[in-house]
């Protein structure tokens, strides 16, 4: 049994007086215990909404979530709110993008770490704070005793994200969801945080869902990668397979827009033209068609199906990039 099995997850935002918007469109993927899975795509592709839906953190009103989110066989979407509350923070931890705004500005760091221990492990405040000190130490925050009483604005951005990681891992969850954990940080700090995450995941055997737009992050961390576009999975492959032979034109474009050490000098980077705003609805055809270099007539005859590939992944494309093109 997979640790997490997401089946046909859809999220439709419906505000009064507006057309419904499908942010996540029948997304399926699995996470095995201890595995690191990437969800990759541009902003607006539905990757963050997917993670919030898994956690049950979407606003209660104005959206409709369908499908199944099986965590160790239990459908999280069908749990009573209080039961889900018991699991959040204990079985599944989550780290967010902006460490400053994700920490409560008027509560000391120590309490923010301790309260999750008090909640799920029944510790009293004093014991929880002692444990919090150890956790802060474990995530590499220097002088953890002092940090316990400090407030988020008094510590650096990197330390804040470390504190959030400490909170998310406090109860030794079996799954950690990291939503763009390095985007708001300086480049040097980014690398440190990623190294830390990798180390912690390896040590504790926690499975990790890494949500990012940055293929560099994926390359260093993930076992399998799901590429999302317009709310749908367009390509799924093992990491090495994806980087060596991207099949979907979108994945291909993403890879080509990343500078590589082994590229020919003087060669220009390719950008994918247009933006997510140029999508067409999936019912009309492939959402990526208006931006696609490989577009064919069939792309506007309805959504292409997600089909298994020879290399064990999945692909949703009528005219995939052939391997010769992939390696320039």
Which residues make up the interface to another protein (CB under 8 A)? 17, 55, 57, 84-90, 93-94, 96, 98, 101-107, 115-116, 119-120, 151, 153-154, 164, 167-168, 271, 273-275, 277-278, 280-281, 284, 289-291, 293, 295-297, 299-300
Long-range residue pairs from 267-272, CB within 8 A, at least 24 positions apart, any chain: 267/328
Which residues on adjacent β-strands are paired with residue 321?
none
The helix (H) or strand (E) run that includes residue 136 is: helix 125-138
Shortest Å distance, C-beta 244 to another protein: 26
Q: Could you give the 3-state DSSP secondary structure of residue 66?
A: strand
Nearer to another protein, 86 or 223 (CB): 86
Burial of 67 (0-12, 13-18, 19+ CB in 10 A): middle
Contact 302, 285 (CB under 8 A): yes
Nearer to another protein, 15 or 240 (CB): 15
Q: Could you give the 3-state DSSP secondary structure of residue 23?
A: strand
Shortest Å distance, C-beta 27 to another protein: 20
CB atoms within 10 A of CB 276: 16
Nearer to another protein, 32 or 98 (CB): 98
Closest CA to 6 of 56, 63, 41: 56
Nearer to another protein, 140 or 152 (CB): 152
Side by side, the strands of the sheet bearing 207-212 are 92-95, 175-179, 207-212, 36-40, 224-229, 232-238, 314-315, 307-308
Shortest Å distance, C-beta 106 to another protein: 6
Helical spans, DSSP H, in 170-214? 187-204
Shortest Å distance, C-beta 290 to another protein: 6
Q: Strand 314-315 vs strand 21-31: parallel, antiparallel, or unpaired?
A: unpaired
Shortest Å distance, C-beta 236 to another protein: 26
Nearer to another protein, 102 or 224 (CB): 102
Nearer to another protein, 196 or 289 (CB): 289
Nearer to another protein, 116 or 242 (CB): 116
Shortest Å distance, C-beta 218 to another protein: 23
Shortest Å distance, C-beta 251 to another protein: 18
């Amino acid at each position: 049994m997979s640790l997490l099995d997401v089946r046909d997850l859809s999220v439709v935002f419906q505000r009064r007086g507006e057309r419904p918007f499908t942010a996540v469109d029948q997304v399926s993927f699995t996470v095995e215990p201890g595995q690191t899975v990437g969800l990759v795509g541009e902003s607006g592709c539905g990757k963050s909404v997917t993670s919030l839906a898994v956690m049950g953190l979407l606003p209660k009103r104005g959206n409709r979530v369908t499908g199944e989110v099986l965590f160790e066989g239990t459908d999280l979407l069908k749990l009573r709110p209080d039961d889900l509350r018991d699991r959040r923070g204990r079985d599944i931890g989550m780290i967010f993008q902006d460490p400053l705004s994700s920490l409560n500005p008027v509560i000391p760091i120590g309490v923010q770490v301790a309260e999750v221990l008090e909640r799920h492990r029944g510790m009293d405040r004093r014991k929880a704070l002692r444990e919090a000190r150890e956790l802060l130490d474990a995530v590499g925050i220097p002088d953890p005793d002092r940090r316990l009483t400090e407030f988020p604005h008094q510590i650096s951005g990197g330390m804040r994200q470390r504190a959030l990681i400490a909170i998310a891992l406090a109860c030794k969850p079996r799954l950690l969801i990291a939503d763009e954990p390095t985007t708001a940080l300086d480049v040097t700090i980014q690398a440190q945080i990623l190294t830390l995450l990798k180390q912690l995941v390896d040590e504790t055997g926690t499975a990790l869902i890494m949500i990012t737009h940055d293929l560099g992050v994926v390359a260093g961390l993930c076992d399998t990668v799901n590429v999302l576009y317009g709310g749908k999975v367009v390509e799924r492959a093992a990491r090495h397979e994806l980087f060596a032979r991207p099949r979907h034109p979108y994945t291909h474009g993403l890879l080509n827009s990343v500078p590589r050490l082994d590229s020919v000098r003087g060669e220009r980077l390719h950008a994918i033209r247009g933006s997510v705003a140029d999508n067409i609805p999936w019912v009309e055809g492939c959402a990526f068609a208006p931006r696609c270099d490989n577009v064919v007539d069939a792309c506007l005859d309805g959504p292409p199906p997600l089909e298994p590939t020879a290399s064990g992944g999945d692909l949703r494309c009528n005219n995939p990039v052939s391997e010769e093109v992939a390696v320039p």
